[in-house]
Structure 1
Amino acid sequence: MKVLDYFEEILLCITFVAITLITFANVVSRNLVNLSLSFTEEITVNLLVLLTFVGTALGVRRYAHLGFTLLYDKGNKTTKKIIVLVSSLASGLLFAILLYYGTDMVLFQMKVQQTTPALGMPQWLLSLALPLGALLCLIRTVQVTFEELKEVERQAEEPKGDELT
């Protein structure tokens, strides 16, 4: 999974730098030459979608998602496994739906040869951010599910502090 780790991080870095440079160029152009580069909005909005989804996948991988852990922390091994599975199934279902409909959208845009309004480039190239990001999130959700289930098993095997005496 190291290759996927590097892919996500490089893609995030390139996307963030591109958004920053494009937006900066638009601001400079607007203020110095009084010329707004209208096509930049088209690019930056779609790059932000990519940044959001790949960032979500990275957040899942790093366990950076928000969570309410009271029930999990107080639960026994079985309760913890159920919580992990329910949470993972819900997340996986969401990302699977986004992957399905994102792929459907891209295929439709390819079929009708839809282009972007300002640049006239194929819309599906920019829309690939949705299914790609959803796929990365789905992969990471499966990965984290197995890691969390292993962790629950490992914690269950560890002796409690009061059992050592």
Structure 2
Amino acid sequence: MKILNYFEEVILFLAFLTMTIIAFSNIVARNMASLSLSFTEEITINLFVLLTFVGTAVGVRRYGHLGFTLIFDHMNPLFRKVFIVFSTLMSLILFGVLLWYGLQMVMFQMDMGQKTPSLGWPQWILSSALPIGAFLCVIRTIQVGIEELKLEKHSVNKGDEAV
């Protein structure tokens, strides 16, 4: 998984760096040369989608998702395990649907030979951010679900502590 961690971090770094350079160049071109680099909007938007989905996968990996644990902390161990499995399955369904429809969209764009409006690049290349990010989210959701179940198995329940 270290290779996947590195891969995710590199994608995030390069996407954010590219977006920053493009935005800065656009500002300089507009203010200094009265030029508008409108074609860069396509790249920025699609990099933002990539950044969002890969960032979501990293957030899942780092347990960075929002959680309200008051009820969870007061559940008995069996209900906690059931809740972990339920939330993992619901996340997998969400990311699985995004992966499925993302792949369908990319294949449709490939079949139709769609090009981006400004740059004329194949649209499927930029749209691949959705299924790639969703696939990473699926992997990380499975990983975190297994880790949470292992932690739950070895956790000490309230009242079971040795005095």
> Do Structure 1 and Structure 2 share a fold, with TM-score over 0.5?
yes
String of CA shifts for 1:9-58, please: whole Å, max 9, x gaps: 01000000000001110110011000100111110000000000000000
Identity level (%): 58
**Where in structure 1 do 4 or more consecutive aligned residues deviate above 4 Å?**
159-163
Equivalent residue number for residue 26 of structure 2: 26
> Is structure 2 residue 112 aligned with structure 1 residue 109?
no
Q: Matches of 1:159 and 1:46 in 2, distance apart?
A: 46
Equivalent residue number for residue 70 of structure 2: 70
Q: Matches of 1:41 and 1:87 in 2, distance apart?
A: 36
Residue segments in structure 1 that go unaligned for 5+ positions in a row:
none
Q: Which amino acid aligns with 1:90?
A: M
Q: Which amino acid aligns with 2:58?
A: L
- In the TM superposition, residue 131 of structure 1 has moved relative to its aligned partner by 0.1
- In the TM superposition, residue 159 of structure 1 has moved relative to its aligned partner by 7.0
Q: Matches of 1:18 and 1:163 in 2, distance apart?
A: 52
Equivalences for residues 1-165 of structure 1 within 5 A: 1-155=1-155, 158=156, 163-165=161-163
Residue segments in structure 2 that go unaligned for 5+ positions in a row:
none
Aligned residues: 163
3-state SS, counterpart of residue 65 of structure 2: coil
